[in-house]
C-alpha cells in the first residue's frame, strides 16, 4: 500500500481497489428494506355452521331450505364482481362426472361483502346478480339421503377482475359451464367453505 509522510507520521494511502470495496459494499441488514407483508387470502365464512361442520336442518331440503347468510373478507384489489357456487361433489349427474349444482350466483357486485340469509326465488336477486340451481332459479339446499354417508356441500367464492354477463339457461349445468368459461383468466382469488349433511332418519 502506498505511503506518505505528514508531520513526521507515516500515513497509508488506500489503493483504488480498496476504495471500490468501501464505496460499493452491500448495505447492512439494518439498511435492507423490509419485505412487504403477504396479502391475506380471500376468506368466506358463515355463522350458520362451522367450516367442516354439520349444516343445520333449517338450510336443507329436510326443512325450510333457507339459504345461509354468507360473508367474505380480504377482497383482492381490482375485484369487479363475485361468483358463488355451491356444489355437492358426492353426487354425479345421470352417471356423468358432473356434480350437483346446488346454487350458482354470478354478477355479484364487487363492492359486496356478503349475502343475507334467505335469498328470494327468481332469476335476479336484489343486488342484480343472477342465480340458478338444479331446482331452478332458487337456492337448492342439501338433501343427502339418511341411509348414506354425509355429503360435502362445498361453497366456492371467486373474486373476478371483470363482470360476467352470462344469461341464465334452462339447464343449470349448461349455465355453469358458460359462467366458468367466462371466468377463465379473470380469477383474482378463491375461497372455500364446506358443510356436511345427510337427512335425519325417519321417526
The answer to the question of residue 70 being in a domain is: yes
> With bands split at pLDDT 50, 70 and 90, how would you rate the model's confidence at 116?
very high
User: Which one is predicted more confidently, 94 or 76?
Assistant: 76
Count CB neighbours of 44 within 10 A. Answer: 20
Q: pLDDT digit string (tens) for 93-104?
A: 766 678 999 999
User: Which one is predicted more confidently, 95 or 92?
Assistant: 92
Task: For residue 65, give the nearest of 148, 142, 136 by alpha carbon.
Answer: 142
For cell 513526521, the residue is 8
The confidence score (pLDDT) of residue 130 equals 97
d(CA 202, CA 7): 108
The Cα diameter of the chain in Å comes to 110
The confidence score (pLDDT) of residue 189 equals 98
CATH at 101: 3.90.280.10
User: Which one is predicted more confidently, 18 or 77?
Assistant: 77
The answer to the question of residue 31 being in a domain is: no
Q: Using the predicted structure, report yes or no on whether residue 110 has a pLDDT greater than 70.
A: yes
Q: Mean pLDDT over all residues of the chain? A: 87
d(CA 105, CA 85): 6
Q: What angle do CA 191, 165, 169 make, to 5 degrees?
A: 95
Q: Using the predicted structure, report yes or no on whether residue 111 has a pLDDT greater than 50.
A: yes
Concatenated DSSP letters for 29-97?
TTTSPPPPPPPPPPEEE-SSS-TTSBPPGGGSTTTT-PPPPEEEE-PPTT--EEEEEEEEEEEESTTSS
Q: Using the predicted structure, report yes or no on whether residue 21 has a pLDDT greater than 90.
A: no
The answer to the question of residue 55 being in a domain is: yes
The grid coordinates listed for 124 are 335476479
Domain enclosing residue 100, as ranges? 43-197
Total of domains in the chain: 1
Mean pLDDT of 128-146: 96
Name the least confident of 1-10, 25-34, 40-49, 192-201: 1-10
Task: For residue 115, give the nearest of 188, 123, 107 by alpha carbon.
Answer: 107
Question: Which pTM does this prediction carry?
Answer: 0.81
Q: pLDDT digit string (tens) for 160-173?
A: 999 999 998 889 99
The answer to the question of residue 179 being in a domain is: yes
The answer to the question of residue 81 being in a domain is: yes
Q: pLDDT digit string (tens) for 29-62?
A: 556 667 778 889 999 999 999 999 999 999 999 9
The answer to the question of residue 58 being in a domain is: yes
Q: Using the predicted structure, report yes or no on whether residue 11 has a pLDDT greater than 50.
A: no
Amino acid at each position: 500500500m502506498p505511503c506518505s509522510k505528514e508531520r513526521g507520521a507515516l500515513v497509508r494511502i488506500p489503493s483504488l481497489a480498496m476504495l471500490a470495496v468501501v464505496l460499493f459494499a452491500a448495505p447492512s441488514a439494518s439498511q435492507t428494506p423490509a419485505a412487504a407483508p403477504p396479502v391475506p387470502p380471500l376468506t368466506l365464512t358463515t355463522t350458520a355452521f362451522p367450516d367442516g361442520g354439520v349444516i343445520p336442518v333449517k338450510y336443507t331440503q329436510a326443512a325450510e331450505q333457507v339459504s345461509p347468510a354468507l360473508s367474505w373478507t380480504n377482497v383482492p384489489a381490482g375485484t369487479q364482481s363475485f361468483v358463488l357456487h355451491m356444489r355437492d361433489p358426492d353426487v354425479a349427474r345421470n352417471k356423468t362426472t358432473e356434480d350437483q349444482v346446488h346454487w350458482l350466483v354470478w354478477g355479484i357486485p364487487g363492492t359486496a361483502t356478503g349475502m343475507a340469509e334467505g335469498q328470494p326465488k327468481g332469476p335476479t336477486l336484489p343486488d342484480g346478480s343472477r342465480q340458478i340451481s338444479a331446482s331452478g332459479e332458487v337456492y337448492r339446499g342439501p338433501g343427502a339421503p339418511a341411509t348414506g354417508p354425509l355429503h360435502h356441500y362445498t361453497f366456492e367464492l371467486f373474486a373476478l377482475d371483470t363482470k360476467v354477463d352470462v344469461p341464465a339457461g334452462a339447464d343449470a349445468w349448461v349455465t355453469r359451464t358458460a359462467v366458468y368459461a367466462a371466468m377463465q383468466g379473470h380469477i383474482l382469488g378463491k375461497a372455500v367453505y364446506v358443510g356436511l349433511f345427510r337427512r335425519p332418519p325417519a321417526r
